[in-house]
Amino acid sequence: MLDQIGFPLIITLKIAGLSTLIVAITGMIISYILARRDFKGKWLADVLVTLPLVLPPTVTGYLLVVLLGKNGVLGSILYSLTGWSIVFTWQAAVIAAFVVSLPLMVKTTTAAIEAVDREYEYAAFTLGRKELDTALFITLPLAKKGILAGIVLSFARAVGEFGATLMFAGNIPGRTNTMSISIYSAFQAGNNDLANMLVVILIVMSLLSMAITAKIINDWKI
Amino acid sequence: MGIKADFRKRYYRDKNDKKKGVEAAFTLDAQFEVGDELVVFFGRSGSGKTTALQCISGLLEPNGGKIVVNGDVYFDCHKRINLPVQKRSLGYVFQSYALFPHMDVKKNIAYGLKGWNEKDKEERVDEMLQMLEIKGLENNFPSQLSGGQKQRVALARALAPKPSILLLDEPFSALDRVVRMKLREKIKEIQRELKIPVLFITHNHVEAFTIADKIVIFHDGRVQQIGTSEDVFYHPKNEHVAELVGLTNIFEDSMLVDEDEMAGTITIGCEHMKVTANRPDCDIKEKISWGIRPENMRILPLTDKNSSEENTFPALVKSIVNKGSSKVLALSVKEHSKLLIAEIGNQSFENMDIKTEDECLIRIERDRIVLF
């Protein structure tokens, strides 16, 4: 039983942790560009980033297979070059988690950056600081509450990811059976004890992360 | 060396209006030349002062023209030069101060000192703390400072990198009168010490006239007049400037009725009033605009023995507003459509004992009439 809990817990934390790290970095870059730049096709970029939020996760998973599967548009190139396919690997689960949680990060962080008064940035420019410098030391620190909220939401979404992961990474015991997928499997197999344990662990994890986030945000004065 | 500016900036209601050839909703056409002095940009809200300042700073790009500061070309439309704001070596103090809320006073002041070694940075911050008299506040965050202290920190931050021009956008608008007066003196002192051009925006005419070496008057996107406080105050070029400098009673396009070269006076017909003014040195036109400040109107009791003296008219008191140290009266002169505004001291007001709807005499002091 410990094995049946241990592996899903570790693989879930690994997948959600890695995907959240990538989401946080790419999300901040995309959000800054969306909040502070005006360019042709901005609305399209916004729609593309937001799409996984409104699409059923199974559709997102299916599109990922079509794009990155062994016979997929990009996946076939990867397969012909390396003889390796990403489908049904833990890396595939990271990609699935990344795609579904990115919109949450981008939406939250874009709103937070937009709320930062531009005069702070202009003040930094007049003091000789370049845009990148200003973004890193003025804009993002002033938007940190929104950014943290985005990171927590993205992590929670990655931990809870089910549909796209199942389509793209499968449910392979010892490889891609994350907590959410393991709960479904245990429930299907009638192993209610295991399902209960996994559910309790997930609930405790969620409550803990919420409490820690609330504490951090409360402690930040700005 | 100073600033030579001649540029235009257009604003459109919709960003596609420019492509469609729709006329701009607002056009700033700024032309002025000033030296290493304290220059006040003076005008109403929406007259183009802040836009002009932002174009000089590089936060806005003009649509055409040229800006040269201390011999450096900041912007030249023909040569396609637009120096980035970071390279303009300027200090900018924002109306809202824009102090970085996540940094303490020391870090705020040191923020513009990138590339300085730690020792020099420390020394410069210390120098600024002393200059602006804010020593002891270095570890405070902006949220722990009063309005006046924030303004001093904003000034210290702007001056720390030794800018070659200082721009101040309505820096004192949120401060009380006493703090304002102290900071005005501080700005003058700083300008005298650094000898750099200081551009100061305000729409408070007392502030403009007490602080300025030179005033640039903006109205409706155009520079109306440039001159010393005295020039602008006593010789406004047109009715817009006259109104801005406090000539509340303005009479446009009055007719010249008579001219007495011997006495050096002219008589101006203004509806049913005939007003005598001193003859100006320049050529006199048929139509004359003139004005008088409320404090240069005298109120006399109806029974005054000098009621037949020049520029004295019977009037009806329409309203009385208490300004604290004085009273402002709105008066209607018989058969004259426009209300006249007069301001009199509390003592004279009490002596006369007048109320709303009372009749009295008003006298427009000839020597105080301003022609433009």
ipTM (interface pTM) = 0.85
Answer whether B3-241 and B294-364 agree in fold: no
Strand spans (E) along B1-49: 3-11, 26-34, 38-42
- Domain of residue A143: give its range: 2-219
A76: confidence class by pLDDT, cuts 50, 70, 90: very high
Tell me the pLDDT tens digit for each residue of B188-204. 999 999 999 999 999 88
Using the 8-state DSSP alphabet, how is residue A31 labeled?
H
What pTM, to 2 d.p., does this model score? 0.85
pLDDT mean across residues, chain B = 90
Phi then psi for B292, rounded to 5 degrees? -145, 140
* Cβ–Cβ contact B112 with A under 8 A: yes
pLDDT score, position A37: 93
How far is the C-alpha of A99 from the C-alpha of B60, rounded, in Å? 38
CB neighbour list of residue B117: distance below 8 Å, 6 or more residues apart = none
User: Region B333-356: what's the mean pLDDT?
Assistant: 85
Mean pLDDT of B230-237: 88
In chain A, the number of structural domains is 1
Range in B46-60, B164-178, B213-227 the model is least confident about: B164-178
**CB–CB of B85 and A127 under 8 A?**
no
Question: How far apart are alpha carbons B41 and B355 in whole angstroms?
Answer: 40
Q: What share of chain B is helix, strand, coil (3-state, %, to 5)?
A: 25, 35, 40
pLDDT tens-digit map of A194-209: 999 999 999 998 899 8
> Is the Cβ–Cβ distance between A70 and A64 less than 8 Å?
no
pLDDT at B325: 84
The CATH homologous superfamily of the domain defined by B3-241:
P-loop containing nucleotide triphosphate hydrolases (3.40.50.300)
pLDDT of residue A1: 67
Interval A135-150: pLDDT, tens: 999 999 999 999 999 9
Phi/psi at B183 (5° precision): -70, -30
* Chain B residues within 8 A of A121 when measuring between CB atoms: none
Residues of B in contact with A219 (CB under 8 A): none
Under an 8 A CB cutoff, do A117 and B100 touch? no
More confident call, A96 vs B180: A96
A10 pLDDT more than 90: yes
Residue A2 has pLDDT above 70, yes or no: no
Q: How far apart are CA A121 and CA A130, in angstroms?
A: 10
Q: Is A105 touching B (CB cutoff 8 A)?
A: no
Q: Provide the pLDDT for residue B20.
A: 80
Question: Does the pLDDT value for residue B348 go beyond 90?
Answer: no
Rounded to a whole number of angstroms, the distance from the CA of A21 to the nearest CA of chain B is: 24
Domain map (residue ranges) of chain B: 3-241, 248-292, 294-364
Mean pLDDT score, B204-211: 86
pLDDT for A146:
94
**Over the Cα atoms of chain B, what is R_g?**
25
Q: Which residues have CB under 8 Å from A77's CB, separation 6+? A: none
Distance CA A109, CA A116 (A): 11
pLDDT, tens digit (0-9, with 9 covering 90-100), for B119-140: 999 999 999 999 999 999 999 9
Mean pLDDT calculated for residue range B159-168 = 95
pLDDT in tens, B262-279: 888 888 888 778 888 888
Taking CB atoms and an 8 Å cut-off, how many pairs form between chains A and B?
58
pLDDT, position B172: 87
Could you give the CA distance from residue A93 to residue A171 in angstroms, rounded to a whole number?
A: 10
Confidence class of residue A166 from pLDDT cuts 50, 70 and 90? very high
Q: Which CATH number applies to B294-364: 2.40.50.100, 3.40.50.720, 3.30.565.10, 3.30.10.20?
A: 2.40.50.100
Mutate to test the interface with B, among A127, A136, A221 (most CBs of B within 10 A): A127
Task: Express the helix, strand and coil content of chain A in percent, nearest 5 each.
Answer: 80, 0, 20
Give the domain CATH number at A80. Answer: 1.10.3720.10
Question: Cβ of A124 and B111 within 8 Å?
Answer: yes
pLDDT at B371 over 90: no
Q: What is the mean pLDDT of residues B18-35?
A: 88
